[in-house]
Amino acid sequence: MPAVTWNSTATDGKARIGWLETPHGRVRTPAFMPVGTRAAVKAVDTDDLAAVGAEMILANTYHLMLRPGADLIANLGGLHGFMGWGRPILTDSGGFQIFSLAPKVDDRGATFKSVYDGSTVHITPEDAVGIQERLGPDIAMALDVCVGLPAPPEVVDTEMRRTLRWAERSLEAHSRDDQALFGIVQGGVDDDLRGESARETAAMGFAGFGIGGLSVGESAEDRNRSLDTAFSELPDDKPRYVMGLGDTDGLLDAISRGADMFDCVIPTRVARHGKALSRIGDFNINQIRFEADDGPVDPDCACHTCRNHSKAYLRHLIRINELSGHRLLSIHNLQYTFDLLSAAGAAITEDRLADFVAGVRRRRQDGSS
């Protein structure tokens, strides 16, 4: 039996909900994965993550292979033991660092300068698989080339085809029966390339599929069209993971088109700058109007932060750069994100997703509940 399987339980148009079965437990979809790049989600711990409803988290292959190293993590029980997190984990492969750090890329792999000490680091598709096998996540990702947009068509074409070749090599290198390997669809916002990438990647028989190369400078319209194109070529019985997407409108657009999984730094990153995500519109807690506001960020939110602390207190913590302020606002923003996906799943079950999406957007635009 495959290490990871996905089963749909309800649909509404193209949208669907279901269960992802993994060696470390079941994950409800649509699912959001908080980003724990270096084996830690910034400002929160594993108890905080469990309390807001996280069922799977993401860690980063590139950073962990450098510090503290895959062998050390493997000797300390893999990522699950190292982090003290008994639920599912997914590791990305380092493809995003190919976008963000601009290494030298050729058919063999990517050559980086370490962000820690400047030393030369080379990683091949086989290396990425081997590192992830030592890290021990439930789901590993094939190494891909993520191209920032806009980009010359010939560059998008070249890197899409390189990603396909790397995907084949990744499958050949993968050997852990208790770990799933996902392929990644590239192709920018070119319909033909995106469709070809999805079709060819699907034919390789991966356990699931990441949609890469989006949320890197394209418009919402181009992103949505690219998702439609990719999903039309992917099998209905395997999970679809839109990589790096986490804003409210983006999540709702992708869920409506049939996406199952997401990751993004937005909830925790914006929290560290004082931004609160809210059902009636996002806002910055630093504003003077909250100086003496004794109400919670959201009176209808059940998170630890909203049950125990006022906007005035959170504003004070953020303004003095108190670390607990980062934690408390991150907890709320994560809770908002998980509640959004949970409510979307309920709407799919009840065949009312379109009305739900319209209502969410109306409330956030009007600023009223």
pLDDT below 70 — which residues of the chain?
369
pLDDT digits (tens, 9 = 90+) for 290-303: 999 999 999 999 99
The residues annotated as belonging to the active site are 92, 263
Domain with CATH 3.20.20.105 in the chain: 5-264
Q: Rounded to the nearest 5°, which phi and psi values hold at 175?
A: -130, -10
pTM of the shown model: 0.97
Q: What is the pLDDT of residue 1?
A: 75
> What does the pLDDT read at residue 369?
63
**CATH 3.20.20.105 applies to domain 5-264:** yes
Hey, what are 86's tokens? 């008994």
* pLDDT for the residue numbered 94: 87
Strand partners, 104: 111
Strand order of the β-sheet with 120-123 is 104-106, 109-113, 120-123
* Summary count for the chain: helices (H), strands (E): 15, 16
pLDDT of the residue at 42: 97
> What pLDDT sits at residue 368?
72
Q: What H or E segment, with its residue span, contains residue 135?
A: helix 125-135
